[in-house]
Homo-oligomer: A and B are copies of this chain.
Amino acid sequence: MIEISSDVIRGYNDTMILHLLLKQPSYGYEISKQIKTLSDGKYVIKETTLYSAFSRMEKNGYIESFESEASDTGKKRTYYRITEEGIRYYENKCEEWKLTKEVVEKFVTGER
């Protein structure tokens, strides 16, 4: 079975998370489920990877956290929302992706 290269994803975990936060604020567990479903089960982010991405991005000012009670269960959770800087970072990464893809595909057969 072929698996997603975690060494590629390494550069885009943050981007994937930001993509989801762009739609609405969310929290760890939900993000991880959304990544799984959106990728058709092809990629499952590790918890540790996810939560360390959160703290890194908060430190970098790309996201902000806030505590909130779940509307259904009433449990408090740590939510994250994307910042203006996060949006810029995300857009930049999208541009970067195009360039990176172009380059990689010159070295991978069956493409372009």
Q: Give A contacts to B, CB under 8 Å.
A: 2-12, 15-16, 19-20, 38-39, 42-43, 92-111
The count of identical subunits is 2
Smallest CB–CB gap between A96 and chain B, Å?
5
Give every chain B residue within 8 A of A43 (Cβ-Cβ).
103
**Whole-angstrom CA separation of A8 from B13 in the bound complex:** 11
**Counting chain B CB atoms within 10 Å of each CB, which of A4, A8, A15, A42 scores highest?**
A8
Smallest CB–CB gap between A21 and chain B, Å?
11
Q: Given A92-B2, A110-B94, are A12 and B102 also a contact pair (CB < 8 Å)? A: no
Q: Given A19-B108, A106-B38, are A100 and B11 also a contact pair (CB < 8 Å)? A: no
